[in-house]
């Protein structure tokens, strides 16, 4: 248990610091609410529409593509670390893997999944 003691101390200290700061802010800070201040923040532009508006389904498509290609890269990290030891065999294997991924990308591109409109 003793090895976890520093972690516990860190947790307590972190909680205390945040708590104290929030309390001081609440007690001392001036509060003058107005309608404009209460608006949703959209980088300085006047907000338009509801914050709960629907997103275009195209975002899903982009997200799905990103998700797949992002996660597949997981296999390249261990290979990159051991590239010297794996030698030519590993290189060819990784190449085949990337070609298969590229086939998927070319397909998505040809089907127009990468076009916005």
Binding site for other proteins (CB under 8 A): 1, 3, 57, 60, 63-65, 67-68, 70-72, 74-75, 78, 100, 103, 106-107, 110-111
Least distance in angstroms from the C-beta of 116 to other proteins: 17
Tokens (6 digits) for 12: 């307590």
Least distance in angstroms from the C-beta of 52 to other proteins: 16
Looking at beta carbons only, is 39 or 70 nearer to other proteins?
70
Least distance in angstroms from the C-beta of 40 to other proteins: 25
Q: Provide the total of helices (H) and of strands (E) in the chain, helices listed first.
A: 4, 0
Are the beta carbons of 84 and 26 closer than 8 angstroms? no
Q: Which helix (H) or strand (E) holds 104?
A: helix 83-110
Least distance in angstroms from the C-beta of 12 to other proteins: 20
Looking at beta carbons only, is 25 or 110 nearer to other proteins?
110
CA nearest to 114, candidates 55, 56, 58: 58
Looking at beta carbons only, is 22 or 67 nearer to other proteins?
67
Looking at beta carbons only, is 3 or 45 nearer to other proteins?
3
Are the beta carbons of 108 and 65 closer than 8 angstroms? yes
Are the beta carbons of 94 and 72 closer than 8 angstroms? no
């Amino acid at each position: 248990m003793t090895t976890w003691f520093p972690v516990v101390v860190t947790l307590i200290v972190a909680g205390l610091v945040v708590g104290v700061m929030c309390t001081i802010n609440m007690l001392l800070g001036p509060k003058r609410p107005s309608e404009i201040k209460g608006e949703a923040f959209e980088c300085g532009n006047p907000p338009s529409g509801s914050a709960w508006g629907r997103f275009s389904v195209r975002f899903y498509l982009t997200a799905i593509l990103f998700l797949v290609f992002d996660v597949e890269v997981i296999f390249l990290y261990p290979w990159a670390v051991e590239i010297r030891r794996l030698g030519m065999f590993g290189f060819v294997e990784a190449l085949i893997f990337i070609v298969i991924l590229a086939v998927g990308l070319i397909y998505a591109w040809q089907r127009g999944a990468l076009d916005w409109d």
